[in-house]
Structure 1
Amino acid sequence: MIPVSTTIALASARTEVASFLEALIQVYTLCIIAYILLSLVQSAGMRVPYNAVTSAIFKFFNDAVEPYLAFFRRFIPPLGPFDLSPIVAILLLQIVGGIVVSLVRG
């Protein structure tokens, strides 16, 4: 039989892991939104082209978000100038993330 203190510790660990996953999903969602906004700014020509700081920030978001969005772009063609893949990607991330967090939390 498992002692009560071990059961409480395991329940606390599951809650902490679920909270961490939930925060990670929210941060990644914010990264996707920031990447979309930076892409809009860049396409409008409002970015300083040779600024090392803005280039590094854009490269970070590009490296972090683009592989995830590329998966959805294979299946969802753009509608003229509009790319709907980030919307689907965020929606799916929130749904699957919520299910995973619920399963971990118990």
Structure 2
Amino acid sequence: MGTFLAITFDIVQILLNVLWWIIVVQAVLSVLIAFNVINTYNDFVSSLWRGLNTLTEPIYRPIRRILPDTGPMDFAPFVVLILLAIFDMLISRYVGPAIAASAM
């Protein structure tokens, strides 16, 4: 049972890391689009933008309801990154050692 929990913990850590990178790329792309550094007329940029928005919009929606409207700048990705860092720290500090102790 301990091995299963350890593998599950590792998978959760990997998924959090992948989600973190998806949000970072989406946030950088959002800033570049907001300041007209790149535009969505490019097919690759447009496809990447739509795909990242499809993945991240369900996460951002509840946070955007709470945050004030700041115009073209969207602070929801930064809030999500902070929450992900806190969640990762909590599970690394409390869940990881508990799983390691149960594996012995």
TM class, shorter-chain normalised?
Answer: 0.7 to 0.9
Whole-Å separation in 2 of the counterparts to 1:80 and 1:52? 25
Q: Which has the higher contact order (CA 8 A, sep 6+)?
A: 2
RMSD: 2.3
Aligned counterpart, 1:28: 19
Cα 1:58/1:82, change in 2 over 3 Å: closer
Whether 1:58 aligns to 2:49 is: yes
Whole-Å separation in 2 of the counterparts to 1:42 and 1:82? 10
Asked whether the 8 Å contact 2:60–2:77 carries over to 1, the reply is yes
TM-score, scaled relative to structure 2: 0.75
Aligned counterpart, 1:84: 75
TM-score, scaled relative to structure 1: 0.73
Aligned residues: 97
Aligned counterpart, 1:70: 61
Query: Could you say which structure has the larger radius of gyration?
Result: 1
Whether 1:103 aligns to 2:95 is: yes
TM superposition outliers: structure 1 runs of 4+ over 3 Å: 78-84, 97-105
Matched letter for residue 103 of structure 1: V
Shift of 1:78: 3.9
Asked whether the 8 Å contact 2:31–2:73 carries over to 1, the reply is no
Q: Which runs of 5+ in 2 are unaligned?
A: 100-104
Shift of 1:46: 2.4
Whole-Å separation in 2 of the counterparts to 1:91 and 1:55? 27
Aligned counterpart, 1:47: 38
The Cα offsets for residues 54-79 of structure 1, whole Å up to 9 and x where unpaired, read as 11111111111122112111112145
Whole-Å separation in 2 of the counterparts to 1:56 and 1:17? 32
Corresponding residue SS for 1:74:
helix
Aligned counterpart, 1:5: none
Q: Which runs of 5+ in 1 are unaligned?
A: 1-9
Percentage of pairs with the same residue: 23
